[in-house]
Structure 1
Amino acid sequence: MREALVTVLWFTLLTGLAPAAAADLSLEREAELERLVLQDCGSCHGLTLKGGLGPDIRAETLAGIPPEALTEIVLDGIPGTAMPPWRPLLSEDDARWIADFLLKGDVE
């Protein structure tokens, strides 16, 4: 996990990603994305997101990671790990919403 976080932070610094706000999504789409996080992400990261095959992705663990970096991880995955790219299925706005959702700790 630590190695992946270091990679993410270096990626963020090297690419100069600028902060961007998540687009306004419909409440229906937000509910769909929350379900995706709890079910699909939860299948690897644990149903409580405390870790499993994948690492702990709760807010306290992700604290300090820029939302832009998490957005890129959601979209492009992490090569050499079980984290797949979701870009074929999610928009950048969707991925940004997921990053913000995880960082806020809104997981019930």
Structure 2
Amino acid sequence: MQERPRRFQLWPSLALASVAAIAPAVAARAGGDAARLASLVRQDCGSCHGLTLKGGLGKPLTPEHLQSWSRDQLVGIILDGVPGTPMPPWRPLLSEPDARWIAERLQQGDLP
């Protein structure tokens, strides 16, 4: 039986080392994004939905109020707004994963 060249035996170790090196940077970015998005919700969304998100010009963004909406519906509202209301589209400023993160945190009442 032929022995594989040594370079092919090293790739799993190199792949694992690469993941270990990149993971802290990805985690730091995710944490930074969470802080940025939480600040956006508190300040920008809070300007209409109330600083405590319990309602104002806009409806409350509490888990109790949002339970009747699916996550996909909330993501659509965040990204595309609600025509005929003051709710603007945030698609120019937010990605779909950002909007999904916001919707999840609001439904769970878990906004950092």
Tell me which interval the TM-score lies in, with the shorter structure as reference length. Answer: 0.7 to 0.9
Residue of structure 1 aligned with 2:42, choices 38, 44, 69: 38
Moved over 6 A (4+): none
Alpha-carbon displacement from aligned partner over 1:43-95 (angstroms, at most 9, x marks no partner): 00000111111011111110131111000000000000000000000000000
TM-score by length of 2: 0.72
Q: TM-score, normalised by structure 1?
A: 0.75
Q: Which residue of 2 aligns with 1:18?
A: none
Identity of aligned residues (%): 58
Which residue does 2:110 correspond to in 1?
A: 106
Matches within 5 A, 1:25-104: 26-104=30-108
Bigger-Rg structure (1/2): 2
Which residue type is aligned with residue 32 of structure 2?
E
Partner of 2:23: none
**Cα distance in 2 for residues equivalent to 1:38 and 1:107:** 9
Instruction: Give, in angstroms, the shift of residue 100 of structure 1.
Output: 0.3
Point out where structure 2 has 5 or more consecutive residues left out of the alignment.
1-26
Q: Secondary structure at the match of 2:88?
A: coil
Which structure has more relative contact order (CA 8 Å, sep 6+)? It is: 1
Separation (CA, whole Å) in 2 of partners of 1:64 and 1:55:
13
RMSD across aligned positions (CA) = 1.5
